[in-house]
Amino acid sequence: MEGDMFKLTADNYSYWKPMMEDHLYCKDLYEPITNLEIPEGKTEKDWEILNRKTVAMIRKYIDKSLFEHVSTYTDAYELWTKLESIIQKKTPRNKAHLVRRLVKLEYSDDQNMIEHLNTFKGIVNQLMKADMKIDDELQALLLLSSLPESWDTLVVTLSNSTPDGKLSLDNITDSLLNEESRRKERGSSSHSEANVVENRGRSENRSKGKREKSRGRFKSRSKGLTCFYCGKDGHKKPECRFLKRDQKNGTVHPDMVDPKKKLEEKTTTAVISNDENVFLITEVNYLNIAFDDNHLNYVKTA
pTM over 0.75: no
Given a cut of 50, the residues of the chain with pLDDT beneath it are: 1, 191-194, 196, 218, 257, 261-302
Contact predicate 301/285, CB 8 Å = yes
pLDDT given at position 189: 54
Q: What is the pLDDT of residue 283?
A: 43
| CB-count burial class (<10 Å; 0-12, 13-18, 19+) for 232 | middle
Distance of alpha carbon 95 from alpha carbon 102, whole angstroms? 11
pLDDT at 226: 79
- pLDDT tens figures, 45-93: 999 999 999 999 999 999 999 999 999 999 999 999 999 888 877 788 8
Residue 131 CB partners (closer than 8 Å, separation 6+): 90
Sorted by sequence, the CB contacts under 8 Å of residue 270 that are 6+ apart come out as: 280, 281
Q: Cα separation of 59 and 19, whole Å?
A: 14
pLDDT at residue number 212? 60
Residue 198: predicted pLDDT: 58
The rounded distance, in Å, linking the Cα atoms of 150 and 223 is: 63
Identify the pLDDT of residue 150: 93
Identify the pLDDT of residue 75.
94
